[in-house]
Amino acid sequence: MQLLRAIFSHSSGRIGGAIVGLYIIIAILGLLGITPHDPLMQFRVDRLHAPDATYWMGTDLFGRDVASRLMLGISQSFIVAFASVALAAVAGIVLGLAAAWFGGWWDGTIMRFMDVLLAFPAILLALLIIAIVGPGTWTSVMAIAIVYTPIFTRVVRGPALSLKTRDFVDAARTFGSSRNYILTRHLMLNLVAPLTVQVTLALAWGLLTEAGLSFLGLGTQPPASSLGLMLADSRNLMEMAPWLLIFPGIAIMIGILGFNLLGDALRDILDPRTRRSAA
């Protein structure tokens, strides 16, 4: 609650929060099927129809309503982004804590493996994973999660390592707190701040990566829609039907902008060191 109030008193947090909130509402409406038209319905007589009162954002090659598809696309893109970031964050937390806590051989192995994943070109890694497993929503989620896991692992391991050596952990140990208790309570509290920021920024990347994969035809499968898929489909039609490019293009920009603004605000609020620089 306190955090929410802080976000809304922060100028870019307010805008970012509003955008993300709006998108989440749109995504939920899209998911529930509360759209101007059925996003899958092909109004074949109105193919490539320019925007008007009936079709607010025009229709596509099949005569499907672009506005409705955009809503469905936002929900699809959000599902992939949220699910993959959640997965990456959980994996990153587990691996990062394990590396920091056990140290030594464990630390070396885990971190070298993360180095391998980091050094591997991200889009190619995602591409290979999808080609192996076969495309689909959950494959995209998994592929994006694997690509972003090393980042979370690093974010967690650093602070965890420095906290581990601090006195209060030792003190807790001497007072007989169990190992699990120390891990969850003390370390998590001190990790929440950097993680929250990282999660928000990663959501922006998740949207971006999903769009990139769908753009290459490897993400969301038709006839479902996602922002990247809509952009890919507009590629050869943009001269005949520019609305197919412009609306999803702007939608994806604003969506990512929302997460970026929110991420910035959270960084300012949660990290006292940078608070003064962008009030």
Partner 1 sequence: MGQSLMKKFATSVAFAAALGAATAVVPASAETLRMAWSQDATGLDPHKQTAFSSLRLLELVYEPLVRLNADLEIIPALAESWEFSEDGKTLTFKLDADAKFQNGEKVTPADVKASFERVLDEATGAAARANFTSIESIDTPDETTVVFNLSQPDVPMLTAMTGINAAVVPASEIEAGTIGTKAIGSGPFKLDSWEPNQKEVLSANPDWAGGEVKVDGIDISVLPDETAILAALRTKQVDFALINDPLVATLVPNEASLELSRTPVLAYHVLQLNPSREPMTEQAVRQAISCAIDRQDVLDTALLGEGAVTGPLTMPAYRSDPGALFCYERDVEKAKQLMADAGYEDGFSATVIAATGEPPTAAAEAQVIQSQLAEIGIKLDIKMMELNVYVDTWLKGDFDMAVALNGGRADPYSMYNRYWTKDGNLQHVANYIDDTLDSLMQEGRVETDFDKRKEIFAKFETHLAEVSPWIWLYTGYTYTAQQKNVKGFVPSPTGTLFGLTEVSVGE
Partner 2 sequence: MNYLARRLMTFPLVMLGVSVLVFVSIRLVPGDAITAMLGTEAGLLTPDQRAALEAYFGIDQGWFTQYWRWLAGAVQGDLGVSVTFGKPVLDVILERFPLTLELALLSMVIALAIGLPAGIFAATRNEKPSDLAVRIFAMIGQSTPNFVFALLAIYVLSVGFGVLPAMGEFTPFLENPLRNLGQMILPALTLGFAFAAAVTRISRSAMLDILSDDYIRTARAKGVPARKVIWRHALPNALIPVVTLSGVEFGYLLGGAVIVEQIFALPGLGRMVLDAILQRDYALVQGSVLFIALNFMIVNLLVDLAYAMLDPRIRLGGK
Each residue 26-45 as x (binds partner 1 by CB under 8 A) or -, in order, gives --------------x-x-x-
Q: Which residues contact 93 (CB under 8 A, 6 or more apart)?
A: 152, 156, 191, 195
Structure tokens at 237: 């039609």
Q: Phi first, then psi: give them for residue 253, nearest 5 degrees.
A: -60, -50
Q: Which residues contact 92 (CB under 8 A, 6 or more apart)?
A: 148, 149, 150, 151, 152, 153, 154, 155, 156
Query: Binding residue for partner 2 (CB under 8 A) from 24, 28, 31, 238?
Result: 238
Stretch that binds partner 2, among 23-31, 35-43, 154-162, 171-179 (CB under 8 A): 154-162
Query: Binding residue for partner 1 (CB under 8 A) from 18, 29, 31, 61?
Result: 61
The number of residues that bind partner 1 (CB under 8 A) is 22
Pick the closer one to partner 1 by CB: 167 or 239.
Answer: 239
As measured in angstroms, the least distance from the Cβ of 179 to partner 2 is: 24
23: contact with partner 2 by CB under 8 A: no
Query: Binding residue for partner 2 (CB under 8 A) from 93, 151, 252, 265?
Result: 252
Pick the closer one to partner 1 by CB: 135 or 194.
Answer: 135
Query: Residue 260 binds which one of partner 1, partner 2, none, with CB within 5 to 8 A depending on kind?
Result: partner 2
Structure tokens at 261: 């603004």
Which 95-134 positions form the footprint of partner 1 (CB under 8 A)? 131, 134
* Cα 257 from Cα 156, distance rounded (Å): 25
| Distance between first and last Cα of the chain | 20
Query: Residue 115 binds which one of partner 2, partner 1, none, with CB within 5 to 8 A depending on kind?
Result: partner 2
As measured in angstroms, the least distance from the Cβ of 80 to partner 2 is: 14
Please list the residues that pair with 59 across neighbouring strands: 65
Residue numbers at the binding site for partner 1 (CB under 8 A): 40, 42, 44, 47, 61-63, 131, 134-136, 217-218, 221-223, 233, 235-237, 239-240
Binding interface with partner 2 (CB under 8 A): 12, 112-113, 115-116, 118-121, 123-125, 127-129, 131-132, 158, 161-162, 204, 208, 211-212, 215-216, 231, 234-235, 238-239, 242, 245-246, 249, 252-254, 256-257, 260-261, 274, 276-279
